[in-house]
Amino acid sequence: MIGSFKRTLGIASVALAAAFVASAAEATVFIGESTGGSITQIGTGANSASASGTFGIFTVTSASGTATTAPDYLLSNATAVTSSGSGTLTLYVTETGVTQNAAQLFLSTFSSNALASGFSVTEQTFLDAAGGVFTTVTPLGSTTFTAGGFVSQIANPGAIPSGFSITEVYTLTAAGAGNFQANIDVSAVPEPATWAMLILGFLGVGFTAYRKKMSFRFA
């Protein structure tokens, strides 16, 4: 019985590790911007990138993206973006070369840390099985803020081939002069079957400890 539970624990550990396999070692991060026309790449780097500059009425002090360690996939920040008038700015952050090979749930976490009165920011996450840059093929999550806030959403796009990309999008609509700060994080969530194996494994550990304790009492 104990041997069986130990085997279950081993299987659960392997399953959990497999569910969180997402290699950042081969990832490239791209940052782009658009003020209503085509997307212009403004930054790129291995595993992380950052960018800044003035785009029309908008000044971006810092926009960044980092291919983080599993179970996270991509964390981006758009901080201290200011506008001198009314208009729309869209920022794109893409991670390519994600090497995870299974059906996987994705958790998108959106937050708005500072948002001027009359402003709104729509934050979105997308997956592209073909690994494209700044592509919005498969939606994973979307929310719109008109004030500070925090929202988490889970998506299940099904089986995904290795080498896909994730794109995070900020669409800021300014009503006049002001600023905003926000961030998006996309991470992996184990499937229900994986959680079941993990729970069985922990039960096995608890049962083994209980048997040892009982054996000690009656020795």
Residue 39 has pLDDT above 80, yes or no: yes
Q: Are 80 and 56 members of one domain?
A: yes
Task: Identify whether the C-beta of residue 34 lies closer than 8 Å to the C-beta of residue 90.
Answer: yes
Q: Is residue 144 very low, low, confident or very high in pLDDT (cuts 50, 70, 90)? A: very high
What is the percent of the chain where pLDDT is above 70?
Answer: 73
Statement to judge: residues 195 and 157 lie in one domain: no
Judge if 101 and 206 occupy the same domain: no
Q: What pLDDT is attached to residue 72?
A: 86
Closest by Cα among 99, 85, 100, 167 to 132 = 167
Q: What's the angle, vertex CA 174, arms to CA 173 and CA 178, rounded to 5?
A: 140
Does 155 lie in the same domain as 139? yes
Q: What is the mean pLDDT of residues 67-73?
A: 83
What backbone phi and psi angles, to 5 degrees, belong to 207?
-65, -40
pLDDT band at 3; cut points 50, 70, 90 = low
Clarify whether residues 149 and 180 are in a common domain. yes
User: pLDDT confidence of 192, banded at 50, 70, 90?
Assistant: very low
DSSP string, 105-130: EEEEEEEEEEE-TT-EEEEEEEEETT
Query: Rounded mean pLDDT of 188-208?
Result: 50
Each residue's pLDDT tens digit, 49-59: 999 999 999 99
pLDDT at 18: 44
The predicted structure's pLDDT at residue 189: 86
Which pLDDT score, from 0 to 100, does residue 88 have? Answer: 97
Same domain, 153 and 58: yes
What residue numbers bound the domain in which 49 lies?
A: 22-189
What integer pLDDT is reported at residue 9 of this predicted model? 43
**Same domain assignment for residues 125 and 164:** yes
- Is it the case that residue 31 has pLDDT exceeding 90? yes
The type of residue at 209 is A
Give the dihedral sign, CA 89/49/100/202. negative
Helix (H, G, I), strand (E, B) or coil at 207: helix
CB 103 within 8 A of CB 162: no
Does residue 204 share a domain with residue 116?
no
Are residues 182 and 211 located together in one domain of the fold?
Answer: no
Same structural domain for residues 64 and 81?
yes
Minimum mean pLDDT range among 119-123, 139-143, 209-213? 209-213
Can you tell me the distance from the alpha carbon of 113 to that of 146, in angstroms, rounded to the nearest whole number?
A: 11
Q: Which residues contact 96 (CB under 8 A, 6 or more apart)?
A: 27, 28, 29, 30, 131, 132, 133, 163, 165
Cα-Cα end-to-end distance for the chain: 20
User: Considering its fold, how many domains does the chain have in total?
Assistant: 2
For residue 66, give the CATH number of its domain.
2.60.120
How many whole angstroms separate alpha carbon 180 and alpha carbon 157?
A: 31
Beta strands in 38-163 (DSSP E): 40-46, 48-55, 58-67, 72-98, 105-115, 120-128, 138-145, 149-155
Residues 108 and 216 in one domain: no
Q: What is the mean pLDDT of residues 70-85?
A: 91
Clarify whether residues 183 and 203 are in a common domain.
Answer: no
